[in-house]
Every structure is written in C-alpha cells, then in structure tokens.
Amino acid sequence: MNNRVPPVIPNFTLIEICGRGGSSEVWFAADPNGIRRAIRIMDKTRFSDEFRLESESKAVSVYRNIANQHPNLLDILYTGETPEYLYYVTELADNVNSFPNQYEADTLAWRIKNRKESRKIILSYLEAILNGVEQLHRYEIAHHDLKPENIIFVKGVLKIADPGLIASSNKKTLGGTPGFRPSWHLSGIEADIYAIGKIIYCLMTKEDPTRFPEIPPECPIEEFAELNEIALKCCEREPEERYHSIAEIRRDLAAVREPVKFLNRFEGMRTKSSMILAVLLCISLIFNLLPFMKGCFQNKISKTEAQQLIDITYQNMNSMTLKELDTVFTLLDHADPDELTTTHEYRLQQLDEYAGFLRNMQANDAAGFAIPLLISMSIFPDKETHAKYIYHYISLNPSAILSPHTLARCYMFHIRNGSRKFAEETLRRLKQCDFSQYNNYAAAFELLQLVNFMTASGDFENALFFTEKAEKLAPNYAPVYMILFQIHYKKQEYDKAEEAFRKYRELHPQSCCIEMFYEMLTRKQNTKKPGENPG
C-alpha cells in the first residue's frame, strides 16, 4: 500500500499503486459499483513538451481501436483527462496474492520469477504474444516496448499491455526498456521482433535480458535448443540473418511445437478402436519394412555404396554424433573389405580412430572439444568478453556441455573467472555424471586433472570426492595414488599420505617420484618413518 495521497480521477476510488513507468503510474482502483479496474495515469507536468504529451495520447487512441478487436491485446475501456492528468482505464490483471485485499498483478515477469513453467506452457505464451503483436503489425503500428512486465494475464488469458510507445511500424526509434531494445536503430517491427527474442531468452533461462545470449548451466538447454535458435535469430544484428516478420517466427515456432502436437495425437489414441487400428498399422509397417531391414543389415552392400558411404561420412564426421558414426560402421560391416581401395581403407581407419577418440574423451560429437580450446585462448580483451563467447558457443551447441570432459573444463573456467554461481551448478552436474559408461582409465585421468585444480585451489573436500571416483574406476592406476598423496600431504595428513605413497610405490616401483615423496614424508614425520628407504 502506498501512503501518498492518490490522484483524483472522476468516478474512481484509487486504492494502491501497482506499477510505475517513466512518466506514468498504474493504480489499482474501483468504480462506484465496486468493480475493480486498472488506471494508467500520466502526470502532465512530467512531460517535457506538448508534443510528447500528444504522442502519448495519440498512441493510446490508436492502440485502443485495434486492441479491442483482439483477445491477446489489453482492452482499453475508456480514456479521460483532468487539468493535471491524462488517464485510461483498462481491464485489471489477475491477482497473484493469496490475500484478496492485497493486490499484485499477474504479469509474465512475475511468472518468470516465481514459476517453473513447462516447455508446453512457454510455447503457449509465445503463441499468444505472436498473435497480439501480429495484430498490431497488421495495422502498421508497433509496440516499441515489449517486455515481460508489459504482458499481463486477465482471467488467465495473456494480453499485451502498456501502449504508451505505440507508433508506426516503419518508425525507427531507440525508445523502450534497456535490455529489451537493440543498441542500434531498428524499425518498429524489427524492434518488436528483437524484444520477442529477449522475452524467449528470459522464459528459458530466468536471467536478466542483459546477459543474453549467455546460457546458465542450470538451464536445460537440450530441452530449449530450438527455442534458443529462434531467440538468437530474433536478436541477430545482421539484417540478412534475422527474422523480418512475425510470420517467419511463427513458421519456426510451429516446427518446435510439432512434437507436442504429435504427443497430443498419441494421447487421443487411447480408445479401444484407435488402439486396434494402431496395432494393425504397426503390423503392416513391420511387414512392409522387413525386406528393407533385411537388405540393410543382412545383405552385403555393394563396393560403390560402401565407398560413397565412407566418402560422405569422412567429409561430415565433425558434424556427426557418435551414435551416427556407429550406425555407419554397422552398415559397413556388411561390405567386403577386400573391395575397398587404399584411399577408402585409410579413410575408414581415420573414422574408426575418431570414433574411438570420442569414446575415450567421453564426448558425443566434436562440438565439446571447442570449449576447452576457447577457455585456453588468449585473444580476448577481457574476462567478460571471453565468458560471453564461451556461453554463446554453448547456446549454439547445447550437446557440448553434456560431457564430463567439457563440464570439468567449464568448472575450472568459472572458478578462475569468479563466477561462483555457475561453478556450483557445473560442479553439481559433474557429481551426477555416470563415469562408468566411459573408458575407465580415460575417465579416471579426466577426474585427476580436475582434482589437481581443486587441490591447488584448496578445495580438498571435492578433490577427495573425485579422487575416490577415479580410484573406483581404475583401482590399479598408479597416478590415482600419486594425486592422493598430494591431497593428504597438503592437508598435513601424513599417515594417510604414507598409505598413498606405499600403494603408489607398489604399482609403479620404477617411478622417479618415489624418492622425492619419501624425502618429503621423512622431513615431516619425526617419529615415524614411511617404511624402508626405497633407494
């Protein structure tokens, strides 16, 4: 509740402020019959000139004639003027407060902050936003200030509100809210499309729009990969790369929605007759596809087919997943190896080595390897720019962040960069990884590199956690105990360091480190020697 004296608006009792803008306030009000409304009030004294006041008034009038024809645009019930104020009365947004006598508007901004919406719900929000904005553009006007705060829900229906900056769709402007407006001049349609991209970003990540296109580690980017591509294309600076109409966005959004529609159709097949039809259809498909499947997996493929398959795979291997490569190898198992040329034998060997490399490095495809390289590059002018490009790369290649190899590199980068929040989320993901599905020694080696970093940072608890994982993966791998020795020695746990030393010496007696470790222990342990002198 605001304690200041409310403005006097004919026929309404103003109860409390529920929003503020640059030159206006939104009040929660009631008419003589007790019907609750929202009133946006513009103080004339706050406008620098008459032109700005007239523009605001004209924008509201233009919007009103169009909005009242569309369910996703907020109805303006009527407008008025007093000597001090311009005002207009609208539908009231739903109240999200559990106490009826306390009002808090149900806006998209509130839902982003307080709810975890499903992919299906987010798609429905975007569909409604596109519907409302397209209605404005159809009449050659643009909103110019789209943002989650200006999108409300009335009786559960999404509506675009706050038409104060409504203007011609061809007009170029830098007006709007920072974070949702581009830094360069765009027409009204282009500015609205840019803002839609930022709204998509906020819905996916719950981040401030100024962080765009950074994808936080906790965001399930694999779930929103297609939506992320739409957001990037909305905000693309190069004209030839970005959307030019709402229809273009709608086309790509329809492709994203298609799997949802398919699932809905599948749910509709639960009646008895539909299930019978589905079974019959499956039987028919099996019999029709059986000859093709036999041809693929039982008959040998020809020399020409094998060579073409090898050539295509070799040319595109960096954009193929490990699963796709394994499918190729399965098909080539039915080729006659004696019929391959020397060139194709060499290429097949390279493909096999590359697939083995992906397996050993715990990667699904080539995308993940660019992140460790980006992290180590020294061409960036500052930490912020460096981080921006890493996050941008991840947003374009969401599978890159799924491998433990990449997660470990990202964790170390976040720690060095001071990004504690991202480091903690990445560490949480790392702890949930199932390393047993990878080559045990490769996984153990990756973990030990991470442990070295943690030990140097003084994070002994997590260092021991991952060292124990490495020990379970490869219990006879000598470097595990070399690292265990380091951790316990730095923690001044010299008895445990001695145990690690003995195990390391047992597994790798010829190591040049044994004498050094022994001397380190004898200097620290005055009463107890770590066994006989190995020298």
DSSP string covering 109-133: HHHHHH----HHHHHHHHHHHHHHH
Does residue 412 contact residue 454 with C-beta atoms inside 8 Å?
no
Q: Do 289 and 155 lie in a common domain?
A: no
State the Cα–Cα distance between residues 244 and 188, nearest whole angstrom.
Answer: 11
Whole-angstrom CA distances from 204 to 189, 235, 533 are 23, 15, 61
Any idea what DSSP says for residue 6?
A: P
What is the number of structural domains in the chain?
5
For the record, the structure tokens of 273 come out as: 């007759």
The reply to whether 330 and 456 lie within a common domain is: no
What's the rounded mean pLDDT across residues 182-206? Answer: 91
Domain boundary among the residues 42, 58, 90 is at: 90
Q: Which domain holds residue 501?
A: 385-524
Are residues 153 and 19 located together in one domain of the fold? no
User: What is the structure's pLDDT at 170?
Assistant: 63
Residue 403 lies in a domain: yes
Q: Give 386-389's long-range contacts (Cβ < 8 A, gap of 24+).
A: 386/417, 387/214, 387/413, 387/417, 387/419, 388/214
Q: Which of 26, 27, 23, 32 is nearest to 57 (CA)?
A: 23
Highest mean predicted confidence (pLDDT) among 41-45, 245-249, 303-307:
245-249
pLDDT of residue 270: 37
Q: Which single residue is written with the structure tokens 């609750």?
A: 36
Q: Do residues 226 and 346 share a domain?
A: no
**Residue 481: pLDDT over 90:** yes
User: Do 83 and 21 share a structural domain?
Assistant: yes
Share of the chain above pLDDT 70, in %: 82
Res 4: pLDDT: 67
Q: Mean per-residue pLDDT for 469-494?
A: 92
Q: Is the predicted pLDDT of residue 191 greater than 60, yes or no?
A: yes
Within-domain flag for 2: no
Query: Looking at residue 400, which CATH number applies to its domain?
Result: 1.25.40.10
Question: How far apart (Å, rounded) are the C-alpha atoms in residues 529 and 392?
Answer: 54
Each residue's pLDDT tens digit, 297-310: 445 678 888 888 88
Q: Which pLDDT band, with edges at 50, 70 and 90, does 486 fall under?
A: very high
On whether residue 373 sits in a domain, the answer given is no
pLDDT in tens, 426-475: 898 888 888 777 778 888 898 999 999 999 999 999 999 999 999 999 89
- The CA distance from 67 to 57, in Å, is 15
Both 195 and 152 in one domain: the answer is: yes
196 and 128, same structural domain?
yes
- Asked whether residue 8 is assigned to any structural domain, the reply reads no
Say whether both 115 and 255 belong to one domain. Answer: yes
Residue 279 has pLDDT above 50, yes or no: no
Phi/psi at 113 (nearest 5 deg)? -75, -35
3-class secondary-structure state, position 283: helix
CB atoms within 10 A of CB 52: 13
Whether 375 maps to a domain, the answer reads: no
Confidence of residue 295 (pLDDT cuts 50, 70, 90): very low
The answer to whether the CB of 34 falls within 8 A of the CB of 20 is no
Of the three residues 90, 120, 143, the one that is the final residue of a domain is 90
pLDDT digits (tens, 9 = 90+) for 45-70: 776 566 666 777 777 777 887 877 78
In a shared domain, residues 275 and 340: no
- Band of the pLDDT at 323, cuts 50, 70, 90? confident
Domain boundary among 360, 375, 402: 360
- Note the pLDDT of residue 76: 87
pLDDT of res. 285: 46
Do the domain assignments include residue 39?
yes
- Asked if the model's pLDDT at residue 168 lies above 50, the reply is yes
pLDDT for 262 equals 34
CB-CB contact of 401 with 434 (8 Å): no
Give Cα 382 distance to the centre of its chain: 23
Same domain, 242 and 282: no
Whole-angstrom distance, CA of residue 242 vs CA of residue 239 = 6
CATH number at residue 115: 1.10.510.10
Can you tell me the distance from the alpha carbon of 234 to that of 249, in angstroms, rounded to the nearest whole number?
A: 8
Give Cβ neighbours of residue 229 (< 8 Å, ≥ 6 apart).
Answer: 252, 396
Average pLDDT over residues 209-217: 86
DSSP 238: S
Q: Please indicate, yes or no, whether residues 313 and 284 belong to a single structural domain of this protein.
A: no
Give the separation between CA 18 and CA 28, rounded to whole angstroms: 6
Confidence of residue 280 (pLDDT cuts 50, 70, 90): very low
Name the average pLDDT for the chain: 81
529 phi/psi in degrees, rounded to 5: -95, 145
Report whether pLDDT(509) > 60.
yes
| 95 found inside a domain | no
Rg (CA), the chain: 32
More confident position, 407 or 209? 209
Q: Is the per-residue pLDDT at 263 higher than 60?
A: no
Q: Reply yes or no on whether the pLDDT at 6 is more than 80.
A: yes
Q: In what order do the strands lie in the sheet with 36-43?
A: 13-20, 24-30, 36-43, 85-90, 76-81
Q: pLDDT value at position 484? A: 95
Question: pTM of the entire structure?
Answer: 0.54
Q: Are residues 508 and 474 in the same domain?
A: yes
Helix (H) or strand (E) holding 190, with range, is helix 188-205
Asked if 410 contacts 371 with a C-beta cutoff of 8 angstroms, the reply is yes
pLDDT of residue 534 exceeding 50, the answer is: no
Confirm whether 70 is domain-assigned. Answer: yes
Residues 62, 50: Cα–Cα separation, whole Å: 18
